[in-house]
Structure 1
């Protein structure tokens, strides 16, 4: 039996509409969640700015009939055959890469590297910008009571990405991390760093983003234009995390890291040239790429948000009902600061 739910769809280039979408019964290993929060991510904007034809021939093709939104949190409403965990009533967030569950990568929790090809919520299976959603039970992470649904949705992508980036940077107590780009992911890195007692410095070319970060209490935020690392962190940063995904941010990251330091590239985008001898070898710099995260790491991040008092809620600037989804997407595309979320009561 199939019912229908309200869902957002990319109706045309830079146009989102609300439609009725089918909701099938959950099959074996699946469950239905009442979606409570669906965050908008920068990757959503790639498709927002595309025609239907361009979507279907993009680097990661998607159908215009696919509901967007890969940052998903909600409450379990019903379970399919064989599902014993999570149970009805549990509050969950959903890891958006869903692998086969059997290959070596999936058995380690790294569905993002599924050897048989992961399915991705919002890309090749429906995303979270709809009232209810069928998901695979193994993709769900149960949220602690103190974690709100909007923060749970943030943990389903940006906030756990930030957590893993900080871990991969190898930054230690007493050391300094520089975050290039203070959009939602960069702000989440700052929040995690603060909870761990690290010194964190941010850079961004946008005055609006810098002002917003300052309002959140992050005092060491600088204009990326003309940023002088020696004036801020003499000798260079112990670690640099680039969330910008552009050539200039990546170039800056390798220039401002200290000898023996670590650079982590998080932001997606083309282009970057490096000269291994002066940039890496002569300074013994470690360069790391990082893509999404494992399910166990997401579980760990969800637990630590409460235990460490990681202040992610203030990063979420707007929670709007699905009826305001078209406006929310347009506002996001226009450069709104912070995190925008579709929310349900």
Structure 2
């Protein structure tokens, strides 16, 4: 029996790197060798929990699950009935298409493994092929960049809109890139970490705000002009607010600054928050738009990432070999220690 190494949730705050049976593809499947896999905030959530609740377990018991839903790699085996994929294809994955559960999020398989079985493999549905001009580590950004793209799509931002993105993590920076590629004239990024703001400028943000030291409403008014809410009270001329931070302060800052008819897109997983100022939302007729996942965007982004891969590469702060997976997850678990960690397997170029 051939085996492989795979990362699973361990005790609270820890991973286990275990030997498991290497999957064997059926006639409709392909086997991919993982060359890079990103670590997501969702992985961190599972580690803080020490696993995932099992529907079959009594009393909400937690079970260990394989991690990794941001993989990129190359196909090494192809089932007899697969006609649109071949050995050697470099592919990214739609983790939500797996029939045995979402890859790396409670499903049977995880992408933070040496190999990954793609069940019922169909090009354009379960995987997408990307060109060999794109490094595997950048290709592994495909899934989070689809999340960011959906948020921008939900915003319906027009070139004439003035936009602020709260949070200069991977999703916020990805949204910034998509907004600029969409032709949006002015995009501001707000965060509390200076290094993140520097990255925001390097990927195309027109201005940044350090929300730890600057007055957001005043700075947005300076950048986007002065407008008013429905009662005529002075507000910033910002049209769209994108919350990629998930902090309660973002809602408060948005409501304080929002002009009449502004929109707020919520893409970040929300932390427990204080009461929202609903009256303040009313005074601005602020539209709240939720953005979850990537209903259509998972492979819409693939070719554009390829075209602009040098720009997207700036989102990766750490590239850690799979042999040091524990260190990679420790970095991600430590607030402020890393922005985007991608684990690499062998020669990831």
TM-score by length of 2: 0.82
The CA deviation at 1:246 is 2.6
Distance 1:40 1:212 in 2: 19
Counterpart residue number, 2:329: 329
The question of 1:279 aligning with 2:281 is answered yes
Task: Pick from 117, 120, 130 the counterpart of residue 143 of structure 1.
Answer: 130
Counterpart residue number, 1:26: 25
The question of 1:16 aligning with 2:15 is answered yes
Q: Secondary structure at the match of 2:260?
A: strand
Contact 1:26/1:134, CA 8 A, preserved across alignment: yes
Distance 1:206 1:255 in 2: 22
| Aligned residue runs from structure 1 range 216-231, under 5 A | 218=205, 220-225=207-212, 226-228=215-217, 229-231=220-222
Distance 1:29 1:256, change over 3 A: farther
Distance 1:309 1:197, change over 3 A: farther
The question of 1:159 aligning with 2:158 is answered no
Contact 2:50/2:62, CA 8 A, preserved across alignment: no
Contact 1:180/1:253, CA 8 A, preserved across alignment: no
Which structure has the greater CA radius of gyration?
A: 2
Counterpart residue number, 1:104: none
Distance 2:85 2:255 in 1: 43
The CA deviation at 1:119 is 1.6
The CA deviation at 1:202 is 0.8
Counterpart residue number, 2:41: 42
Distance 1:171 1:126, change over 3 A: same
Q: Which moved more, 1:33-42 or 1:251-260?
A: 251-260
Q: Secondary structure at the match of 1:12?
A: coil
Contact 1:62/1:124, CA 8 A, preserved across alignment: no
CA deviations on 1:281-310 (whole Å, 9 max, x unpaired) are x5443321111113x422221122344677
Counterpart residue number, 1:184: 170
Q: Secondary structure at the match of 1:269?
A: coil
Counterpart residue number, 2:63: 63
Contact 2:318/2:340, CA 8 A, preserved across alignment: yes
| Structure 1: runs of 5+ lacking an equivalent | 101-117
The CA deviation at 1:74 is 0.7
Counterpart residue number, 1:97: 96
CA deviations on 1:78-130 (whole Å, 9 max, x unpaired) are 12242222222211111111266xxxxxxxxxxxxxxxxx8211122221111
How many residues are treated as equivalent by the alignment?
A: 320
Contact 1:260/1:283, CA 8 A, preserved across alignment: yes
CA deviations on 1:249-295 (whole Å, 9 max, x unpaired) are 23333443432332211011244544656515x5443321111113x
Contact 2:134/2:309, CA 8 A, preserved across alignment: no
The CA RMSD over aligned residues, in Å, is: 2.6
The CA deviation at 1:165 is 1.2
Counterpart residue number, 1:119: 101
